[in-house]
Structure 1
Amino acid sequence: MRTQRPALVLTVTSLAAFLVFLDVTIVNIAFPDVRETWPETSLADLSWVFTAYNVVFAALLIPAGRLADARGRRRIFGVGLVLFGLASLACAVAPTAGALIAARAAQAVAAALLAPASLALLLPAFPPERRGAAVGLWGATGAIAAATGPALGGVLVDAFGWRAVFFVNLPVVLLTLVASRFVLVESRDPDARLPDLVSVVLLGTGVAAVSLGIVRGEDGGWGDAVWPLVAGAVLLVLFGVRSARVARPLVEPALFRLRSFAGSIAGYLVFSGGFYALLLSNILFLTGVWGYDVLTAGLAVTPGPLMAAVASSVGGRLTDRFGAGASVVAGGLLFTAGCVLFAVAVGPDPAWLTVFLPGQLLTGLGVGAVYAGLGTAAVSELPPTRFATGSAVGTCARQIGAVLGIALLLSGLAAAGSSFEAFRTSWIAMAAGGIVTVLCGVVVGAARARSAPAPTPVPLEEPA
């Protein structure tokens, strides 16, 4: 069996996280050009380029996490990478809008396989006392990818057209796939069997229905969103009831009795709503109120992700030393301060250097610290055989929070006519989300990675 090199494992798994979360936002900036390619396709139908990815990704995360635990994390990681590359190529060469939407759904399946498997491969490579820093960097990579998506997408679309936002994935996929064969070690739960299939269906359709309802509300049609939301809520309740009664539940109810796990899931849901809403609101504000072009706006919000990268390392060290709650509380306060600064100091006249940039730096620091703490808290009390499942539940909450935050933002802006005061109100709401995140950090407390037996390795032949 190969000896793992933690730094290389972190690099490979973080590249996968970057791919997954980059494709949540990079396509946004390409949408106008996509629409010009197929003007005969209605806006409602073409919006499934976004919706298909978000809904399928959220719905399949937890089943994919359990599949990785049962069938091998490196195997599922590799399958996810290959599928992501093929789906990205299919998106790039799509001859019709329908083909693009189908390829985006396939991308989401691959992303659901990659996200939990990558974190489950990362954790055993680090000793418990260093896992907080590693998880912080992994989590911040996803946040940085989501935040840099608009800027990178703007550059690519401006230079090469919208298909380039999918072609750009291919070299990263190839590099990660080759590196994974030499760097990652296979592991699985030797006693795992596939979970109850009825639970898989209930959870997948429930999450999909809730996500679909939120997306419909995002378009301003909350009346049309009621039935999917109600149906999704009923399915999720049925999922909870069944999980308590079957021998092989998809997610053991006992996990939610762990304070750190429950607090981190709530934190993911609330904070991701505020964070993803902030990403979009700032782009819309810069282009709609201050009159920036799309490319300039994308570049103007780049300092935030850079600060998130810095804060992720600091947050990870805070987590290792004082527990995950310290990083979540500190990050939540910084994020709140940044949003308050936006709300009270930003005006209708451009003042990027003196006002907007300081707000970005504060929120960027907050994002890096919060995700570092939440990532550790979600798995800190779990046995290694549930690392993929635990991280999948956290990522699912993160994705649903993101969809909900964006939907509420767009609904609010639509109702208020995207006025300056509407943006100020949205920033205040995001600050409130930061305060709730601080409370989640208090619930998480001093959780930190604990010593536990490593997941059972699967002997592999060394590559020639």
Structure 2
Amino acid sequence: MRSSRGFIAGLIVLCQSSQSLAYAGIALFLPLIRTELGLTFTESGLFAIATTATYAAMQIPAGYLADRFGAKRVFLIGTLGVNLTALGFALLPTFGWLLLDQAVSGIFRSLMFAPGMVLMSRQFPPDRRATAIGLFVALGFTSNIFLNTLGPVLVGPLGWRNLFLIFAAMGLLFLVLFWKTPEAPGTGQDTRPVRFHELAALIRKRILWLCAGIQFVRLAVTGGTAMWLPTYLITDKGMSLQAAGLVLAAGALLSAPANFLGGYIADRFNRPVAVISTALVLIGGTLLLIVQAQSPAALLVLVAVNQFLVQIYFGPLFDIPVRALGREFAGTISGFSNFWANIGALFSLYLLGSAKDLLGSFDAGFFLLAGMCAVAILLAVPVSRRTTTTVMPASNAR
């Protein structure tokens, strides 16, 4: 059973990695895409805004669908759609069509997130849920290491469009493998749909909203830096695409174990809020230092540390409301949390692009992100008083 669960977890990760390649590839090759299409920085940011807007809007419905129709079925549909839209991004010729493609991609990406976390959690014991969530993201985003390392080398001879064709083909292969693999024994559906009156009871819980506020900041920082950091290093810091790719690869290399490490520490010592608060303090500091740094060596270290930290508290933050409010509603709760996270991402994506157009620099945007980390630390204080809350019984939810 263990080997079977491990194999299935690996297939889930491979499917998740196809989403990572498609999304991160746009950020890495954005300077080339912007030049080819003649876009402003604000227009370039619309790619991420379009996909994040639909992705955010579908978070709660995607979680509900996973609870209602089964996580694997919804996850497979999402994986298919993500890779078909990656194929479309490689073939569509104009900005308008590419923008529409990314809006549709966001819908399908949402069908992979909450269902994927539910699927991954089923491969682990209940008291290792934060570890499972961390692994889902950590291993799923290891593809970014290869993207940032090999992408700048391959884009010259192949072009960015052909690379997206390769991404789509790989993702569809992973999809077929997972589709044909039966679920491991004992990992069947353990969630159920939230009834409307239960949903009303859930959203009145203060811990859900406190965690949602921290989620807003989490993805505002993560999404803003993921989209604009490559362009920032090239346009503001004077790096070549190859050098920026190596810096980002170092960050991706560290961010992969960060997700697992944060989840493990939170589970092992039962200190999820300590992991979250410490990470937020250090993230704000590295953002301020990145603005001041000029040497490639300093930027390499700061970006790597920053990318490590922005991922380390992912699992604990998603796990807190699920443990407090009930695992049977895991899909819906995770969808609610990620909805507010993506609203934060939308805010920062537009903010950083607009700041660059208006002020000629991304610095003001990075300063604001650092300030938002301070606000999230304040929100973590009341969360720490509620982490001992027992799971909400179904009778109370009703």
TM-score between the two structures when normalised by the length of structure 2: 0.82
Amino acid at match of 1:431: A
The 8 Å contact of residues 56 and 108 in structure 1, kept in 2 or not, is answered as yes
Unaligned runs of 5+ in 2: 394-398
Equivalent position of 1:112 in the other structure: 110
Give the direction of change, closer, same or farther, for the CA distance of 1:263–1:6 in structure 2 (3 Å limit).
farther
Number of residue pairs matched?
388
**Contact in 2 for aligned 1:326/1:373 (Cα 8 Å):** no
Cα deviation for residue 367 of structure 1 reads: 1.4
Return the letter of the residue paired with 2:19: V
Give the drift of 1:260: 4.0
Pair 1:266 & 2:228 matched: no
Choose the corresponding residue for 1:429, options 358, 365, 368: 368
Letter in 2 for 1:308: S
User: CA 1:428–1:372 in 2, change beyond 3 Å: closer, same or farther?
Assistant: same
- 1:195-231 Cα shifts (integer Å, max 9, x gaps): 8xxxxxxxxxxxxxxxxxxxxxxxxxxxxxxxxxxxx
**Would you tell me which structure has more helix in proportion to its own residues?**
2
Residue 89 (structure 1) aligned to one of 72, 87, 90: 87
The match for 1:133 is 131
The alpha carbon displacement at 1:269 in A equals 0.5
Deviations 1:344-387 (A, max 9, x none): x514xxx122x223322431332122213212224222333311
Q: Matches of 1:156 and 1:177 in 2, distance apart?
A: 26
Q: Tell whether 2:382 aligns with 1:443.
A: yes
Matching of residue 311 in structure 1 with residue 258 in structure 2:
yes
Match of 2:64 in 1: 66
Alpha-carbon spacing, 1:450–1:23, altered in 2? closer, same or farther (3 Å): farther
Q: Report the Cα distance in structure 1 between the residues aligned to 2:227 and 2:100, rounded to whole angstroms.
A: 25
Residue 290 of structure 2 is matched in structure 1 by 342
Q: Any idea what the Cα deviations from partners look like across 1:366-423, whole Å, max 9, x if unmatched?
A: 21222132122242223333111121122222222122112222222333222xxx62
In 1: Cα distance, 2:45 partner to 2:311 partner:
30
Asked whether the equivalents of residues 136 and 376 of structure 1 are also in contact (C-alpha less than 8 Å), the reply is: no
How does 1:308-457 map onto structure 2 within 5 Å? 308-320=255-267, 321-343=269-291, 345-347=292-294, 351-353=295-297, 355-418=298-361, 423=363, 425-445=364-384, 447=387
Unaligned ranges ≥5, structure 1: 196-246, 454-464
If you compute each CA radius of gyration, which structure gives the higher value, 1 or 2?
1
Match of 1:170, as an amino acid? Answer: A
Question: Residues 288 and 100 (structure 1 numbering): CA distance in 2 closer, same or farther, change over 3 Å?
Answer: closer
Question: RMSD of the TM alignment (CA)?
Answer: 3.5
Are the equivalent residues in 2 in contact too, given 1:136–1:315 (CA < 8 A)? yes
Following superposition, the deviation at residue 44 of structure 1 comes to: 8.5
Q: Identity of paired residues, percent?
A: 23
Counterpart amino acid of residue 234 in structure 2: T
- Determine the C-alpha separation between the residues in 2 that align with 1:330 and 1:295: 32
Q: How does 1:161-200 map to 2 (within 5 A)?
A: 161-167=159-165, 168-182=167-181, 184=183, 187-188=188-189, 192=193
User: CA offsets, 1:284-318, max 9 Å, x none?
Assistant: 34212332122321222222222222322221122
Q: 1:263 to 1:151 in 2, by over 3 A?
A: farther
